[in-house]
């Protein structure tokens, strides 16, 4: 089991299993949502994730098509990326929110054709 929280601690969660893998997404939406060159997500089965406190503090919006992104309404920490219509069994959680470590393989890179201009040579 792994635990995590948003920056202000209003939202806490736990997972029953290690994530299936880590993804680094370089798409423009992830860059803007995370305010970074890419978003690092722990991808896990939806049934293995639960909020332990503060679920009512989580806000969400539909960022594109069927994709829903969630965040803490107090501190703005990005929490989830999910597509319940096309991939209901999967959920992606921002890796930096985890308070416990887990064994992870080399991250899978997605949408590298959209790498931030300051990362083009890396």
Question: What DSSP assignment string belongs to the chain?
Answer: -EEEE-SSSS-EEEESS--SEEEEE--HHHHHHHTSSSEEEEEEEGGGEEEEE-GGGEEEEEEETTEEEEEETTT--EEEEE-TTT-TTEEEEEGGGBSS-----SPEEE-GGG--GGGTT-
The CATH number for 62's domain is 2.170.150.70
Q: How many structural domains are present in the chain?
A: 1
Residue 8: give the domain boundaries: 2-114
The span from the CA of 73 to the CA of 50, in Å, is 18
Quote the pLDDT of residue 32: 85
Tens of pLDDT along 34-79?
888 888 999 999 999 999 999 999 999 998 889 999 999 999 999 9
Tens of pLDDT along 80-91?
999 999 999 999
Tens of pLDDT along 2-29?
999 999 999 999 999 999 999 998 888 8
Within a domain: 65: yes
| Mean pLDDT of the 93-107 span | 88
Within a domain: 72: yes
């Amino acid at each position: 089991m792994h635990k995590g929280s948003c920056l202000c601690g209003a939202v806490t969660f736990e997972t029953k299993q290690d994530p299936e893998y880590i993804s680094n997404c370089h798409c423009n939406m992830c860059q803007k949502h995370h305010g970074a060159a890419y978003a690092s997500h722990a991808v896990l089965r939806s049934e293995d994730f639960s909020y332990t406190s503060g679920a009512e503090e989580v806000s969400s919006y539909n960022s594109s098509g069927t994709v829903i992104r969630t965040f803490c309404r107090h501190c703005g920490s990005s929490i989830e990326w999910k597509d319940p219509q096309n991939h209901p069994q999967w959920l992606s959680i921002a890796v930096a929110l985890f308070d416990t470590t887990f064994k992870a393989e080399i991250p899978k890179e997605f949408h590298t054709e959209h790498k931030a201009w300051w990362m083009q040579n890396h």
